[in-house]
Amino acid sequence: MIVVMKVGTPESEIDRLSAEFKANGLSPEKIVGKHKTVVGLVGDTVDMDALQLQDWSPWIEQVLRVEKPYKRVSREYRQGEPSEVVVSTPNGPVTFSATAPLVVVAGPCSVENEAMIIETARRVKAAGAKFLRGGAYKPRTSPYAFQGHGESALGLLAAAKAATGLGIITEVMDAADLEKICEVTDIVQIGARNMHNFSLLKKVGAQDKPILLKRGMSATIEEWLMAAEYILAAGNSNVILCERGIRTFDNQYARNTLDLSAIPVLRSLTHLPIMIDPSHGTGKSEYVPAMAMAAIAGGTDSLMIEVHPNPSKALSDGPQSLTPDRFDRLMQELAVIGKAVGRWETQPMPVLV
Amino acid sequence: MIVVMKVGTPESEIDRLSAEFKANGLSPEKIVGKHKTVVGLVGDTVDMDALQLQDWSPWIEQVLRVEKPYKRVSREYRQGEPSEVVVSTPNGPVTFSATAPLVVVAGPCSVENEAMIIETARRVKAAGAKFLRGGAYKPRTSPYAFQGHGESALGLLAAAKAATGLGIITEVMDAADLEKICEVTDIVQIGARNMHNFSLLKKVGAQDKPILLKRGMSATIEEWLMAAEYILAAGNSNVILCERGIRTFDNQYARNTLDLSAIPVLRSLTHLPIMIDPSHGTGKSEYVPAMAMAAIAGGTDSLMIEVHPNPSKALSDGPQSLTPDRFDRLMQELAVIGKAVGRWETQPMPVLV
Amino acid sequence: MIVVMKVGTPESEIDRLSAEFKANGLSPEKIVGKHKTVVGLVGDTVDMDALQLQDWSPWIEQVLRVEKPYKRVSREYRQGEPSEVVVSTPNGPVTFSATAPLVVVAGPCSVENEAMIIETARRVKAAGAKFLRGGAYKPRTSPYAFQGHGESALGLLAAAKAATGLGIITEVMDAADLEKICEVTDIVQIGARNMHNFSLLKKVGAQDKPILLKRGMSATIEEWLMAAEYILAAGNSNVILCERGIRTFDNQYARNTLDLSAIPVLRSLTHLPIMIDPSHGTGKSEYVPAMAMAAIAGGTDSLMIEVHPNPSKALSDGPQSLTPDRFDRLMQELAVIGKAVGRWETQPMPVLV
Amino acid sequence: MIVVMKVGTPESEIDRLSAEFKANGLSPEKIVGKHKTVVGLVGDTVDMDALQLQDWSPWIEQVLRVEKPYKRVSREYRQGEPSEVVVSTPNGPVTFSATAPLVVVAGPCSVENEAMIIETARRVKAAGAKFLRGGAYKPRTSPYAFQGHGESALGLLAAAKAATGLGIITEVMDAADLEKICEVTDIVQIGARNMHNFSLLKKVGAQDKPILLKRGMSATIEEWLMAAEYILAAGNSNVILCERGIRTFDNQYARNTLDLSAIPVLRSLTHLPIMIDPSHGTGKSEYVPAMAMAAIAGGTDSLMIEVHPNPSKALSDGPQSLTPDRFDRLMQELAVIGKAVGRWETQPMPVLV
């Protein structure tokens, strides 16, 4: 860390502060500038809070962090090697990683009834998806809007899994539901609105299922990585990072701004695998194909696409869902890009008997 | 609601859709424009989701909401009368309302130890505060930063309450802690990061303590009101809305952008009382006095100010905390504005014997 | 337009307003709702200002635009046909259009000296670029930073053009320089900071050279299209829209947020060709290749890439520039994606003799 | 400046770079940390560009600015003394400064005709305003919207000045109009959309009339100060900074977010006087009084308020304009706050004979 002192700081204050730094196991080194003095702190400062450090003296103008505040999620933590999140599904293990083929996750926003979820599962599996997404518990802006079918929807996801062998991804909103969700799901999703729900992060970090961590709608890349650090620090290192659109000044045509530049930025900072959700990211089904193709060319490890057998009758998020027919076509379009960048799986998965 | 149809929509589709609206208890009325047709929906649409409605036909271009999506928090719900949130404290009842004198809440970010919390409580009470704030459970960006003393801090808040008669405000991050928090606190705070934690909103709405609902750091005014609507819909109408700074493109000097225009906007939309937190809102103690004065002149019903006996040693948020001496002076400065706008209490509170 | 009246508007006021609308050539149609009355305006309202309309009565709550505010730039204006901006260069005409192969523009941020600009031009031409970019007049945040070599740099661009036959793109900041810029350049660039400089838009609209209109750093898609509308309304329909990164709450790793979702959004709204600038869009050369590939897969018609023979010595924007060697490799990577989506030119351009 | 080197930088590269710094007149000092080495640069770095510096070595990870990038506008430049911008008007000199009474500027968005501008001038003068604002050249999003009456409006402003003795403030959009604008106006306004029009900044800096510099709608405080630095560096030190609302994620109820925290932030950074425009800042007349009062309590030196004799018939920005009657009342309300903070002028101005 670099501690910048205010103009006019008395020498004695710098000495006092230096002594205090030493007492805390840090080695301060002083640079006397033309106008200002700065103190460089050598030592392990990764666990320190820059803002807190600022409180040590009223003469401190600014504390600049040189070391990154995260450790376990950093690329350096694995000596630059991307991690592999291997998820077992009835159809066999699926690997999310920069070193593995692209994984496609598809399904409806909400689980509505048995017929729709099983039909959707069959269709997305046939088109090449490896996971079925579907919400049992839904975060909705309005208390009067459909909140998900809850526990009964979990049963329907289990039925779809049994029928197709697909892995399941569903969201947890309340730690009290975690145990029963984990009986069914293969990956536990933390939604954008709960990315900063630290109690929940600690609890999902203390269990074994892999976690899909969506980016908060106004979370910086660094805050997002720190949320992942909570999960890794609690003991679970199987985390997938999912960009799903951020909030900017413009939401007139696209509902959010899908931040595809998160792909190369994350790649340079972390070993964790990356997923892109162009359905929530744009909020309009007509923009989904272009953004899905862009995401693959940009280097994503995984895609999450909303598919609904009848978007115009969906209980939630219909406008951003593709029909199964459109999804079939999209998978063919994606294959062209996926093959061009060498991320398309050529071997068929083992079939569930 | 106003349903705008795409250019070229077939007459038959408009008829089909109109029939469907009627079947759902709405009275559609059609306006045929030069290029487009729009359908006005008459009836109770407050519980409807505009985005969902859009799914009813691929020919719908846009659904424009004319009615507001919230009901119980709206000014109209109380015929324009501001509500009064009356909180009982050992020193007597305190009213948060547009019709009541300004209420000042003060105290440290975190409860650190018995001496500091009791000293702070005594000092802020002497200066005129009616409530003591202090965090037992702290939401921190880093898993390695101080997370609050938890349950033991609740005991210290109880001691400070016994010593001074001040009301207590503290934050709940996990519904599992709600019961023990409610044994001590007089107002339960939902922090900015949990404003969209709908599970938690439902749970605090199902109990009796008044709620301080902080605005999410990128929540629109409407989303914030919808979060309050969750609490009212669950049965608890004692909600205070607290603006604490929003996230914008600039955080170089002030940590957040304190949105004081929320005051007149909320006043025109809701009957709920308003609190401003200039300490988190700016993140720097030197900006707090100007913004506290501005908030009173702008019409706030309440202020939350961070005070710490020794900001440079605070375990969290020191840079935005005032010393007790500076807070004494601030209260005198605030009194000048408070009196000018007729919101300063002239009668001393009954003393706790 | 849809005019929403406040609750309780007297019948007589609605009648008065309706008469006024009729007097202005509009056909008002009234829908009486349960709580509110709305008035639909039929007629040509494209030139009307929604905010201004609101002033016609204090009883108006909201004016909702149903027609889009732009006309000449809209997709409908050309019956859904994309326009073709054909630019003549010494090497032959180059077409920017959704119907044409991808066009690559490359070159340094600023023109520094004859050797560097000619070397860069040769290298980017050899790699497949059709246009050379290079700033003579540079908008810089600091008055003390390098402001471009101005008129002498124009001479160097002319020399580079003569040496290579490439088309030239350079920025105009001041209308007083327009004439001499147009003697050299083939496309006139309006930079992000001048997107809302309406005087300049009118002036470049009144001359013949094609215009590259960069998106303002916090301009909505609609404002950007309205800026283009200024140019078309002034008589020049050869406009290319260039996305170059928008300003959001996060600029820690990438300098801006490159909004690739602008591609499908613009495609659905306008006939104008689209360019993506991943160099300014991310601000870091290491992120440029991933975003350039993503842009092609997402459907861009053109790319602008910063290339500098020695980025570490660039007078401006070095951190986002590629070396000529890296650019050579990038063009090969781009070709893979370009061919996959059928947008890569297979025929070599006619060579300048 | 602090130069942070990447992990693993060879010693020889640090030596090479240090030599280069020395060759450029800087004194580098090296701190060797546990993981990283940083180099502190001592010397006059105010004119250096941090991004550019980064190009000096591919081993540089980050360049952190410790010195501020502005000089002439900084508080330190005047040893902490606020500057006084004294403007001569027919009614006598008016001082904008932190040391002077509050100055109120009022008037319509656009100059529409002689009767309206003179009536408005008389009314706002009677209520206590010292300056009349009124647009002759109007920046409008749509090329089809009213663009201001231009030169003829300047004549009407001159007539209003002759009739009342008020100072005049009007906007320049095009340097070609500057001379004729300066024949009439007492303060030249640079609008938000031109804050980054560096050509125009240089030109207004090279003439004598005081400048009102509005903040760009997404300009950081630092960029805004750098825009002012352009004017001061060109020779004109009479600059007033006007906050007029910034663009955030929420514009549903208030059109912009009025950033009142700019007041204490600017006060701590610059000697220049501050103006707040709550009319553009909120976009709705009903929010103007609360925000005007808040601005005074927060410490503004000046206010700009839109007043129109008949807002419902205004050619632009009617929804945010007050009637003269409402403005009369507002001035009485403002006087209460202004007197409370000791910024209300008690002596009447010398009358124009």
| CB count in 10 Å sphere of residue D190 | 24
Q: Cβ C67–B36 below 8 Å, yes or no?
A: yes
Here the contacts of B14-17 (C-beta below 8 Å, separation 24 or greater) are B14/B39, B14/B59, B16/B57, B17/B56, B17/B57, B17/B59, B17/B60
**Which residues are CB-neighbours of A128 under 8 A, at least 6 positions away?**
A104, A331, A335
Dig out the tokens for C225 from the structure: 């299209």
CA B22 to chain centre: 39
Q: Are strands C103-107 and C302-306 parallel, antiparallel or unpaired?
A: parallel
**Spatial contact of D262 and B260, defined as CB atoms under 8 Å apart:** no
**Does the distance separating the beta carbons of A66 and D4 come in below 8 Å?**
yes
C176 or B43, greater pLDDT: C176
Interface list for C 46-85 with D (CB within 8 A):
46-47, 49, 51-52, 54-58, 69
- Which residues of chain D fall short of a pLDDT of 70? 34, 43-49, 51-52, 346-353
pLDDT over 80 at C266, yes or no: yes
Share of chain C above pLDDT 90, in %: 73
A115 C-beta neighbours (distance < 10 Å), count = 10
Higher-confidence residue of A352 and A233: namely A233
- Has residue A222 got a pLDDT over 70? yes
**Are residues C197 and D198, on separate chains, in Cβ contact within 8 Å?**
no
Q: Output the pLDDT for position A346.
A: 65
Asked if C42 reaches chain D (Cβ–Cβ under 8 Å), the answer is no
Q: What is the pLDDT of residues C12-62, one digit of tens each?
A: 989 998 898 888 888 888 877 777 788 888 776 666 667 667 778 878 888
Q: Can you give the pLDDT at residue B44?
A: 67
**H or E, element range at B214:** strand B211-214
Q: Which amino acid is at A267?
A: R
pLDDT at C350 over 50: no
Asked if residue B353 has pLDDT above 60, the reply is no
DSSP string, C167-214: EEEEE--SGGGHHHHHTT-SEEEEPGGGTT-HHHHHHHHTSSS-EEEE
Distance of CA D286 to the CA centre of its chain: 24
What dihedral do alpha carbons C82, C84, C85, C90 form, nearest 10°?
150
Question: pLDDT for C80-128, tens place per residue?
Answer: 999 999 999 999 999 999 999 999 999 999 999 999 999 999 999 999 9
Tell me how far CA of residue D184 lies from CA of A171, D94, D158, D167, in angstroms: 65, 17, 6, 9
What is the rounded CA–CA span in Å between residue C154 and residue C142?
Answer: 23
Q: Which two tokens stand for residue A69?
A: 């505040």
pLDDT tens for each residue of A284-298: 999 999 999 999 999
- Confidence tier at A319 by pLDDT (50, 70, 90): confident
Give A100 to chain C, closest Cα distance, Å: 18
pLDDT value of position B21: 87
Residue C306 has pLDDT above 50, yes or no: yes
The pLDDT, as a whole number, for residue B56 is 80
CA-based nearest distance C165→chain A, Å = 31
Q: Does residue A71 surpass a pLDDT of 60?
A: yes
Residue C234 DSSP class: T
The residue among B44 and B224 whose pLDDT is bigger is B224
With contact defined as beta carbons under 8 Å apart, do C147 and C111 qualify? no
Closest CB to A42: pick one of D29, D33, D42: D33
Q: Could you tell me which chain B residue has the CA closest to the CA of A229? A: B143
Q: Give A91-112 pLDDT, tens digit per residue.
A: 999 999 999 999 999 999 999 9
| Chain mean pLDDT for chain C | 92
Mean pLDDT of chain B: 92
Quick one: pLDDT band at residue A46, thresholds 50, 70, 90? low
Cα angle: A8, vertex A11, A16; to 5 degrees: 120
For residues A132 and A124, what is the distance between their CA atoms, to the nearest angstrom? 8
Distance in angstroms between the alpha carbons of the first and the last residue of chain C: 58
Say how far residue A140 (Cα) sits from the centre of its chain.
19
Per-residue pLDDT band for A349 (boundaries 50, 70, 90) equals very low
* pLDDT-derived band at A350, boundaries 50, 70, 90: very low
Residue with tokens 């398309």: A344
* Per-domain boundaries in chain D: 2-64, 75-340
Question: In the structure, what pLDDT confidence band is assigned to residue C349 with cuts at 50, 70 and 90?
Answer: very low
Residue D45: its pLDDT value, please? 67
Nearest to D312 among C55, C145, C317 (CB): C55
- The region of weakest confidence among A167-171, B37-41, C327-331 is B37-41
- How many C×D Cβ pairs under 8 Å? 125
Neighbours of C238 (CB within 10 A): 21
Rounded to a whole number, what is the distance in Å from the CA of D156 to chain C's nearest CA?
Answer: 22
CB C313 within 8 A of CB D55: yes
Q: What is the pLDDT of residue C317?
A: 73
Given this model, what pLDDT does residue B301 score?
A: 98
Residue B103's nearest CA partner among B86, B83, B120 is: B86
Residues within 8 A of B (CB atoms), A 276-315 only = 311-315
Contacts of residue A218 in chain D, CB cutoff 8 Å? 249
Contacts of A260 (CB under 8 A, 6+ apart): A243, A276, A291, A294, A295, A298, C258, C260, C291, C294
How many CB atoms neighbour CB B286 within 10 A?
A: 15
Side chain identity at residue D10, one-letter code: P
Question: Which burial class, exposed, middle or buried, applies to D12 when counting CB atoms under 10 A from its CB (0-12, 13-18, 19+)?
Answer: exposed
**Mutation for testing the B interface, residue in A196, A214, A306, A310 having most B CBs under 10 Å:** A196
Contact A327, A333 (CB under 8 A): no
* pLDDT confidence of residue D315: 75
Q: Which value, in Å, is the radius of gyration of the alpha carbons in chain D?
A: 23
Q: Are residues D58 and D247 in contact, defined by beta-carbon separation less than 8 angstroms? A: no
Is D318's CB within 8 Å of C233's CB? no
- What percent of chain C lies above the pLDDT cut of 70? 95
DSSP D195-223: TT-HHHHHHHHTSSS-EEEEPPTT--HHH
Task: Give the tens place of pLDDT for each residue, B295-323.
Answer: 999 999 999 999 999 887 777 777 889 99
Nearest-by-Cβ selection for B197 from A194, A226, A315: A194
pLDDT at B149: 93
Check whether domain D75-340 has CATH 2.40.50.100, yes or no: no
pLDDT value at residue D88: 95
How far does Cα A347 stand from its chain's mean position? 27
Pick the CATH number of C2-64 from 1.10.490.10, 3.55.50.30, 3.40.50.300, 3.30.70.1140: 3.30.70.1140
Out of B221, B268, B291, name the one closest to residue D250 (CB): B221
Nearest-CA neighbor of C112 among C144, C143, C141, C138? C138
Cβ-based neighbour number of residue A160 at 10 Å: 26
Residue ranges with strand state E in D97-183: 103-107, 131-133, 167-171
Exposure b/e, B228-265, CB count within 10 A at least 16 = b: bbbbbbbebbbbbbbbbbbbbbbbebbbbbbbbbbbbb
Q: A residues 222-281 near B, CB within 8 Å?
A: 223, 226, 229-230, 233-234, 247
Is the ipTM of this structure higher than 0.90?
yes
Mind telling me how many Å the CA of A265 is from chain D's nearest CA?
A: 14
pTM (predicted TM-score): 0.93
Look at A282-286, A321-325, B271-275, D30-34 and tell me which has the smallest mean pLDDT: D30-34
pLDDT tens string B320-330: 899 999 999 99
What is the reported pLDDT for B47? 64
Name the neighbours of D, counting chains with at least 3 Cβ pairs within 8 A. A, B, C
Q: Report d(CA A91, CA A69) in Å as an integer.
A: 39
Cβ separation D143–C314 shorter than 8 A: no
Integer Cα distance of B19 and A155 in angstroms: 35
